[in-house]
Structure 1
């Protein structure tokens, strides 16, 4: 018999929360994707897509069974960031001419989410999906916008990976047919990186504000 939300809400074994169990599965699939990235693109993309797709279900499980947790939020963030980082690392191998831009995209992605998560903890917010910035508030509260941006961003890197193995016929010059699809998704990935820069700046503001508050409290205590 399936446990009711009221029953699972009283379960304090965070390790075995339903969304976290899904998260462990996502990690296994991401590791398998990493293993196959150089040799078997079909297996790699299947595992990667399944891992990314399950991201929607762990959020659903957390809301449905009242099993949101800080551990789950961090697990979700780390899985997303590390899986994408692994894919970008593979793309650096396949597209060495674009090494710097690929490195920059990964650095911005990792740094912004890392600092945002820590800034949220310092501010005492109940969720990392809370922000006073209008753009970040839209990003986190409008699920259609969030899904479009995240899906489009993932699509860009996945399509670029597919292009590395299946270039398709030449259309003109050295431009191959399969290059069209990453180009279509690129604007979404670019805007997503721009949002990450906003993430980074607003998170830095929050950490600085926390430091100022600590210093002011220390000066008052003297």
Structure 2
């Protein structure tokens, strides 16, 4: 019998992913000049991030390609926004660069370490065993608030360049949102660094396991 091949690229969640990419690119183009339209495109792209996950489960179309596409779109979206912020606030370019580097590299190494861990039987460090990190991994409300707070910080900085918004106690609403959400963004960044540290330790564990196996084979 011939095996039926599905067209992974046309799965519903992946089509949603392509739409996210298009919206992100459009938002990048208009970010320097058209705040409102850029925000609509960027926020819509971000909201579709939640929808594609539900679509993947509903249609039973969860794929490795889709997960990678989703991850890359998230990282690219944040990177594009940070590049714009660096042009708006050149004094803080260094910190935007650091934020971008941490976001991309930490997610990259954690993702690849997770993939490699699936191919071995060695015991690895599992951050979900920590009570605090367990809440982060299992409580969707906490995870949503962390992600939303992080996005709110950068989005508020972006909008503040154009508008201060309604003034409360002498402070514009958008600068206020940036200040209030800054601690959340900082905590999420620290968690990303922790992910990278643990992933690095787990990769070293894989290296030691493989080197021991090679040494054992050579000694026989």
**TM-score in same-fold range (> 0.5):** yes
| Residue aligning to 1:203 | 199
1:98-109 → structure 2 map (5 Å cutoff) = 98-109=92-103
| Residue aligning to 1:6 | none
1:117-156 → structure 2 map (5 Å cutoff) = 117-124=111-118, 132-133=126-127, 134=130, 135-156=132-153
**Is 1:47 aligned to residue 41 of structure 2?**
yes
Give the aligned CA root-mean-square deviation in angstroms. 2.0
| Residue aligning to 2:162 | 165
CA distance in 2, matches of 1:30, 1:146: 22
Report the count of equivalent residues.
206
| Residue aligning to 2:181 | 185
| Residue aligning to 2:212 | 216
Q: Choose from 53, 63, 71 the match for 2:65.
A: 71
CA deviations over 1:156-183 (Å, ceiling 9, x no partner): 10010000111358999xx852421200
Report the Cα offset of residue 21 of structure 1.
Answer: 0.8
CA distance in 2, matches of 1:75, 1:21: 10
- Would the aligned equivalents of 1:136 and 1:199 in 2 still touch at CA under 8 Å? no
Structure 1 unaligned blocks of 5 or more = 1-9, 126-130
CA deviations over 1:20-70 (Å, ceiling 9, x no partner): 111000000000000100111111100000000000011111112221111
| Residue aligning to 1:97 | 91
SS at match of 2:110: helix
SS at match of 1:67: coil
**Is 1:88 aligned to residue 85 of structure 2?**
no
CA deviations over 1:179-198 (Å, ceiling 9, x no partner): 21200111110111011011
| TM-score between the two structures when normalised by the length of structure 1 | 0.86
- Would the aligned equivalents of 1:18 and 1:62 in 2 still touch at CA under 8 Å? yes
Report the Cα offset of residue 17 of structure 1.
Answer: 1.3
| TM-score between the two structures when normalised by the length of structure 2 | 0.87
